[in-house]
Structures are given as C-alpha cells and as structure tokens.
C-alpha cells in the first residue's frame, strides 16, 4: 500500500497559502515532471525546500510554489512525501491537485496517517490522537491529544505489556518444567507482579473516565422552575444572547445546547424547560425531554430564587450530581449559602466566579495534563476494562490454586486488550472505523 496519493491538506477557501500533500511510490519523480526545477527537486535532500513554478500537463505555468521534500523513511508517512505550498487561491490549489491526479489518486480520509501507522512511524493510539489534536475545541483537549501524539500513552502501555508478558512467561515456565526437579515459582512474587499491573490499569481507567470528558465535553444541565434564571445564566456562560429571556414563564419549550470553554475544559451546556405542572402539551413534552436529558448529563445546576430550593421528586435520585444554585443573588444577598448552595448573579462583576469554581471542583478533571499517559478515547477505555477483568481473573485463579494454565490464559487476554489499543494486530474493519473520521489531507 504505497501507490502515489495526493490531497489538499489545508482547509478549502481563500488564504495566504494552500498546501497540497503527496506521498507514495515515485512521488518525487511525478511531482518533478510538473515542476520548472525538475532536476533540482529530484536531487534535493530530505527536509529541504525548492522554489520554482508548478506547471500543468501542457507545461504551462500554474503558480510559483515552494516544494518541501521528505524522503523515506524520514517522513510523516514513512514513504517519500512532498508538500506543495502555493498561493491560497482555491482555483490555483484545485488546478495543481487536478494536475497531480492525472498521475496519482486522491487520498482516502486519514490515509496519510494510516500509512504512518502501517509503516511503523506511530502506534495506533498515537494515530487516533492525531485526529483528536486537529479537532480539539479547547486548550485542555488539545493538551491531552498532544500528549498522546507524543507517545506518552503508547510507551506506558508498552511497559505494562512487558510486565504482563514477564508474568505470563513465569507461568509458562512453571507449566513446561513441572515434571523436572527445579525450584518452584514464587507465588507471592507472581501475585505482587499482577497486583501492580492491575493497580496501574485501575489508575489509567479512573483518570480515563474523567479525562474522556476532555475529548467529548462535559454535559451540564441548567434546571429549575420557570423564571429561575436558567436562560440568563446560559447566556452569561456563553457571553452572548443565545436564549430568549423574558419575565413570562415557560419561554423555553425545548432544551438549547451550546458548547464553551471553562478554564480550558470543554463544556456542553443545556438550557432546559422550566420544571412545573402544565396543561400545555408542547410545554409538557419539553419538560419530559429535559428530565430525560438530566439522566445522561454529568452535572445538574438546579437554580432557585426563593429562600430554599424545592426539588422535584423526579430529580431526587440525581442528588449526587446536583449543584444547587442560588440565582439572582444580587436581589437576595443574605440568603443561606453553603458548599452545596452557590450564589450566582449574571449582572454583577464576578457573579459567575463561585459557580465556575464549583463546576471545576465537581468535575474532577485532571489539571496537569503535561507528560501524562491520559486515556480519552472510548475504545481505549473499553479495552482497559477488558484488561482489568482479565487481570482480576488471573489473581483469582492464582489465589484459588486453579493452575498456571488458567493464570497464563487470563494474562494472554489482558495483553491482547492492550495490544488492541496499540494496534499490534489490527483488523481492516477497525482501521476503517478509525481513519474514516479523519479529514482527506491527513
């Protein structure tokens, strides 16, 4: 899989420059056939730039360009790779791309990164993180993706794999030489080794379930009675008049959804219908949808403007994820406030400070992301859960003295789960699901 491919790598539209990327067999030769400085490009060392004119199939000039050369194996893909920087007129970029397509094919989504993975330039966890880095909507999401691209997670998992393999090898040696007069395997030492691996896996999982929110966003619902100030708070967080605010109750019939960044963390905020008894069928449907949404969200900010909140019975089972918000605090400055009752004012300077701090405290999101092997991908979390289960089974088999065959079998399953994350033995279907979500030029 190294036929020549090409694609536009920069976003379509007018800009200062556009970049067309090409990679694969005979890429440099093909590009040089459309370049005024063909001989110079053919002999150009890797990681150098050549200036000249890009020509069409009839050898007529299209644009003055800079061509960067990256020779195999020292390129992003591992194959010969060329990047053509032209002026950012969409007509020029399209003309250059169509010229290349006379001798190349258009790259599939994510195919450049797929080739990097297949050529051993990165493991599968790093390849997946490339797309996360491109699409990250907040600073913290970007930092988490960058740490994965830099290989912190991959190297950590490779270390765990080595420890699992070492424990499994001890079991297999005990099986192979059971009939020989050799010292018995130290069962306490084996148990300690497996417990250590399990502890590290649990730590990755615990942090991963929270860190996953960096990738997908934290779902926060604003709830409360009509006119409790939900829409005003919604607008204040977004810093724009997104929701309609009026003195008339029942203005919000269905929930509104918007995303914003809170201290670098991605928040998906929902403004829901006011919770009350109603005979209006449309309003009742909006309230039912709001309750359904609250079941799946991460946190609920329950707003109230009276002296104490009146929580609907439907929300009593969600107390663990409710923060009570004393809205319109500027009108009732002497109202009782505690760590579970946060005052908010959308008209006073700093009126959102306390609720913002409370949100970050309750979300338990990792603050120091730099140089950490964070798991933010649902597929990776699922694989870690399988690894954890297999390790627990191995420990139970060891304690029950079921035999080294059972322990070794469980350790093989644990290793296989981690190998799924790294893509040691991938399937075509898995690779298709991952790379189909990439943009064409990546």
Residue-wise pLDDT tens digits, 146-163: 888 888 889 999 999 999
Q: In whole angstroms, what is the distance from residue 391 CA to residue 203 CA? A: 14
- What is the mean predicted confidence (pLDDT) over 69-95? 96
Under the banding of pLDDT at 50, 70 and 90, the label for residue 338 is low
Token pair 């403004």 is found at 271
Q: In whole angstroms, what is the distance from residue 189 CA to residue 168 CA? A: 13
- What is the mean predicted confidence (pLDDT) over 183-194? 82
What was the pLDDT predicted at 60?
94
248 vs 437, higher pLDDT = 437
Q: Is the peptide bond before 73 cis (omega within 30 degrees of 0)?
A: yes
Contacts of 219 (CB under 8 A, 6+ apart): 268, 270, 296, 297, 298, 299
What was the pLDDT predicted at 240?
66
What phi and psi, each to the nearest 5 degrees, are found at residue 313?
A: -60, -30
Of 94-98, 179-183, 218-222, 368-372, the range with the highest mean pLDDT is: 94-98
H helix intervals, 17-77: 27-32, 38-42
122 vs 369, higher pLDDT = 122
CB crowding 116-126: b at 16 or more within 10 Å, else e: bbbbebbbbbb
Q: In whole angstroms, what is the distance from residue 107 CA to residue 3 CA? A: 10
Under the banding of pLDDT at 50, 70 and 90, the label for residue 97 is very high
pLDDT one-digit tens code per residue, 242-286 = 654 444 445 445 678 888 888 878 888 888 877 766 656 666 677
Does 364 score more than 70 pLDDT?
Answer: no
CA distances from 31 to 187, 236, 338, 415 (A): 63, 53, 68, 44
Q: Contact at 8 Å (CB) between 212 and 191?
A: no
CA–chain centroid gap for 48, Å, is 33
Contacts of 402 (CB under 8 A, 6+ apart): none
**Residue spans per domain, the chain:** 5-122, 129-213+377-422, 217-363
The residues that bridge with 419 in the sheet, in sequence order, are none
Edge-to-edge strands, sheet with 265-271: 256-262, 265-271, 218-224, 299-304, 322-326, 341-343
197 vs 338, higher pLDDT = 197
Do the domains at 129-213+377-422 and 217-363 have one common CATH topology?
Answer: no
Strand positions, DSSP E, 172-314: 218-224, 256-262, 265-271, 299-304
What was the pLDDT predicted at 281?
63
Q: Is the whole-model pTM more than 0.85?
A: no
Q: Which residue, among 52, 46, 220, 215, has the nearest Cα to 145 in the 3D structure?
A: 215
Does 174 score more than 50 pLDDT?
Answer: yes
* 129-213+377-422 classified as CATH 1.20.120.430: yes
Question: Could you tell me the CATH superfamily of domain 5-122?
Answer: Probable tRNA modification gtpase trme; domain 1 (3.30.1360.120)
Q: Contact at 8 Å (CB) between 287 and 275?
A: yes
Does 330 score more than 80 pLDDT?
Answer: no
Q: Is 158 helix (H, G, I), strand (E, B) or coil?
A: helix
Q: Which residue, among 217, 210, 321, 323, has the nearest Cα to 267 in the 3D structure?
A: 217
What was the pLDDT predicted at 84?
97
Mean pLDDT taken over the chain: 83
Q: Is 63 helix (H, G, I), strand (E, B) or coil?
A: strand
Taken in order 185, 187, 189, 194, the sign of the CA dihedral is: positive
Q: Which residue, among 82, 68, 93, 63, has the nearest Cα to 24 in the 3D structure?
A: 82
CATH node for 217-363: 3.40.50.300
Q: In whole angstroms, what is the distance from residue 115 CA to residue 122 CA? A: 10
């Amino acid at each position: 899989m190294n036929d020549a491919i090409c694609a536009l790598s920069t976003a379509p539209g007018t800009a200062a420059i556009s970049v067309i990327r090409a990679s694969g067999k005979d890429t440099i030769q093909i590009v040089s056939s459309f370049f005024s400085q063909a001989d110079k490009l053919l002999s150009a060392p890797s990681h150098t730039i050549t200036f000249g004119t890009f020509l069409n199939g009839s050898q007529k000039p299209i644009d003055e360009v800079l061509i960067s050369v990256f020779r195999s194996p020292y390129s992003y893909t591992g194959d010969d790779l060329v990047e053509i920087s032209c002026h950012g007129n969409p007509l020029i970029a399209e003309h250059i791309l169509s010229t290349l397509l006379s001798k190349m094919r258009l790259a599939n989504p994510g195919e450049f990164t797929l080739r990097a993975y297949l050529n051993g330039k990165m493991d599968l966890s790093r390849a997946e993180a490339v797309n996360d880095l491109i699409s990250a909507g907040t600073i913290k999401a970007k930092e988490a993706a960058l740490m994965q691209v830099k290989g912190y997670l991959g190297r950590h998992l490779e270390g765990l794999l080595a420890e699992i393999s070492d424990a499994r090898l001890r079991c297999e040696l005990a099986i192979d030489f059971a009939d020989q007069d050799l010292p018995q395997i130290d069962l306490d030492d084996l148990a300690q080794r497996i417990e250590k691996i399990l502890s590290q896996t649990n730590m990755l999982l615990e942090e991963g379930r929270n860190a996953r929110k960096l990738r997908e966003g934290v779902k926060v619902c604003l709830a409360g009675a009509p006119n409790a100030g939900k829409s005003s708070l919604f607008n204040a967080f977004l810093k724009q008049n997104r929701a309609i605010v009026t003195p008339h109750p029942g203005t919000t019939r269905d929930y509104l959804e918007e995303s914003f960044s809170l201290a670098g963390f991605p928040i998906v905020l929902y403004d829901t219908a006011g919770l009350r008894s109603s005979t209006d069928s449309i309003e009742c449907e909006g309230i039912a949808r709001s309750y359904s949404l609250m079941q799946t969200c991460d946190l609920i900010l329950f707003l109230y403007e009276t002296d104490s909140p009146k929580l609907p019975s439907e929300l009593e089972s969600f107390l663990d994820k409710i923060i009570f918000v004393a809205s319109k605090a500027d009108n009732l400055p002497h109202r009782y406030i505690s760590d579970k009752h946060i005052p908010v004012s959308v008209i006073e300077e700093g009126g959102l400070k306390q609720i913002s701090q409370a949100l970050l405290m309750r979300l338990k999101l990792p603050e120091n992301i730099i140089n950490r092997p964070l798991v933010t991908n649902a597929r990776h979390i699922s694989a870690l859960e399988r690894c954890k289960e297999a390790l627990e089974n191995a420990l139970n088999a060891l304690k029950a003295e079921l035999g080294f065959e059972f322990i070794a079998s469980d350790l093989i399953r644990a290793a296989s789960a981690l190998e799924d994350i790294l893509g040691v033995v991938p399937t075509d279907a898995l690779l298709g699901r991952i790379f189909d979500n990439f943009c064409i030029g990546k």
